[in-house]
Structure 1
Amino acid sequence: MTEPDPAARRLADKMREDIQSGALREGTKLPSIAKLAEEHGIGRGATEHALSILRGEGWVMSRRGSGFYVAKQFARIRRVSPDRLDPKLRAQGKMIQDHDTGDRWRAVNPLVADVVPPPDVAEALGVEPGTVVLSRLRRFKVDGRFVQLSVSYLPTDLTRGTRIEHSSPGPGGIHGVLAELGYEPTRYEERLIGRAPRPTEVEGLELRSVGAMVLEITRLAWSGERCVEVNRMVLDAEAYEVVYKFPAP
């Protein structure tokens, strides 16, 4: 793909920043191409290219015969911990994602399989390298936008013949089933890093912004002294606000 010329990139970056900061609000009609070109001292071609970049990223939209407008922006998902992991939610038959998205439209495409996990996951689960575990791969879509890729790993001695092997584990999700089996999670550990997305993640999340970032969160769920699940999540950084609540030491 041909890189845009520097003038187009500068204008696209400036307008994107203005939209993100609220200086350009949703529904605002943008100046004409000729006016934008004059204001920023660049050619019409570069201006058209900048608007094309922003339209491709979902920041602006065009209306035939009317011009360009600031598009409706995606409302960030508030991912609040530890509230989202409260056992009371499981008791009500709710999934963890229900806490994140509320009544917003959500879809998930689960894929359940036996896999050999990465070495660090095998170590956390306490299984020998090369041992097969159960994998639950999910791709979450909220309000029409792919926002998260998630894969959970669980030891097969806990999952064989249970609803965890089904595409939908039922009320309370995976942790609800673990609780029924006597392995209710009693503590969690989350590790979060920000990084550039890998090619498969760009495709899976349909990331459009040049320079897009993702948040990788690895959560370990412990029941007593045993790690019963490792969940590795990759979140579109532009789609989430991550909130942690904890008491003062």
Structure 2
Amino acid sequence: MLRRSPYLVVADALRARILAGEWEVGARLPSRARLAEEYGVGRNVTQRAVDHLIVQGLLEGRAGSGTYVRVPRERLRIVRSRHGSPSLAALKERGRAGAWDAHSQVRVPAPEGIAERLAMEPGDLCVHTHYEFLADGQPVQLSESWEPMAITGGTPIVLPEKGPLAGKGVVERMRSIGVDIETVVELPRPARANREQANLLGISFGDLVLQIERTIYDTEGRPVETADIVIPDVRREVAYEFGVDRP
């Protein structure tokens, strides 16, 4: 019979004590050294056990202060819909978010991975936009968007959040310059929040997030925008809606 790793045994014991109410929400746990002595293990074992519970969302670490029982967060739903126009789905998402901040940079050379997704050469110029979406004053989604300047350069829509169609979404903006959108492809993958994402989203380093790689194509199959979307699992769950074509 396989023996469980010592850190998982300690993590299970700590979880049971927390759920039993030994430490209330917001309470500070004993130090790693004290826990190690209590369970008869090395400090590295208790460190891994605590980190495991932080990743699971039961605990949170506070720099220079210690480890605390985390306040539970309500998980709300984001619906990513394919009914009708994709631009309407984007607007629905923004409506749920309530508000967003955006910062764009022009003439940014495309990194190799982004260039491949946009069917362009590495170093070709793009508009790079960083988004932070808020709901009830809390950050709920991040997005990094790339649009080829070969398509939007010299047009009124070169900056997604400025100009006559600011905030209208990719579909409506592209249509205004004669580019019709036909397909949106999204590749969702589970991941762990890096330090920058955790700081921006107000979650803990290593928390579960959903990363969505989205690319939008016109009627000729040309990619016109690609984005990396990050949604914190502790705050949001994602549901996909698809329309069914009737005969």
TM range (shorter): 0.5 to 0.7
The one-letter amino acid of 1:234's match is V
Matches within 5 A, 1:12-161: 13-14=15-16, 36=22, 45=30, 73-83=73-83, 86=85, 89=88, 96=90, 98-100=91-93, 102=95, 105-160=98-153, 161=155
Q: Is 1:199 matched with 2:173?
A: no
Distance in 1 between residues matched to 2:81 and 2:190, nearest whole Å: 18
The one-letter amino acid of 1:107's match is W
Q: Is 1:241 matched with 2:234?
A: no
Distance in 1 between residues matched to 2:17 and 2:206, nearest whole Å: 15
Distance in 1 between residues matched to 2:87 and 2:102, nearest whole Å: 26
Corresponding residue number in structure 2 for 1:223: 218
The one-letter amino acid of 2:103's match is P
Per the alignment, do residues 105 and 75 of structure 1 end up closer, same or farther by CA in structure 2, a change over 3 Å counting?
Answer: farther
Give structure 2 stretches of 5+ with no counterpart.
1-6, 24-28, 36-49, 51-56, 62-69
Local SS of the residue matching 1:110:
strand
Distance in 2 between residues matched to 1:174 and 1:123, nearest whole Å: 20
| Structure 1 residue 191 displacement after superposition | 0.8
Distance in 1 between residues matched to 2:13 and 2:102, nearest whole Å: 37
The one-letter amino acid of 1:180's match is S
**Equivalent pairs, count:** 205
| 1:108-154 deviations in Å (ceiling 9; x for gaps) | 23333332223232122222122121111112222222222211111
| 1:163-205 deviations in Å (ceiling 9; x for gaps) | 2315334262232110111112101111111111222222222
| Structure 1 residue 238 displacement after superposition | 2.0
Contact 1:106 1:140 survives alignment (8 Å): yes
| Structure 1 residue 79 displacement after superposition | 2.5
The one-letter amino acid of 2:218's match is S
Distance in 2 between residues matched to 1:56 and 1:71, nearest whole Å: 9
Give structure 1 stretches of 5+ with no counterpart.
19-29, 38-43, 58-69, 90-94
Per the alignment, do residues 104 and 200 of structure 1 end up closer, same or farther by CA in structure 2, a change over 3 Å counting?
Answer: closer
Corresponding residue number in structure 2 for 1:41: none
| 1:48-76 deviations in Å (ceiling 9; x for gaps) | x99xx96858xxxxxxxxxxxx9684341
**The structure with more strand, counted as a fraction of residues:** 2
The one-letter amino acid of 1:162's match is P
Local SS of the residue matching 1:186:
strand
The one-letter amino acid of 1:217's match is I
Identity %: 20
Distance in 1 between residues matched to 2:99 and 2:10, nearest whole Å: 35
Contact 1:138 1:151 survives alignment (8 Å): yes
Give the aligned CA root-mean-square deviation in angstroms: 4.0
Local SS of the residue matching 1:164:
coil
Give the TM-score, by structure 1 length.
0.64
Give the TM-score, by structure 2 length.
0.65
Contact 2:115 2:121 survives alignment (8 Å): yes
Corresponding residue number in structure 2 for 1:61: none
The one-letter amino acid of 1:189's match is V
Per the alignment, do residues 12 and 179 of structure 1 end up closer, same or farther by CA in structure 2, a change over 3 Å counting?
Answer: farther
Q: Is 1:214 matched with 2:209?
A: yes
| Structure 1 residue 107 displacement after superposition | 2.9
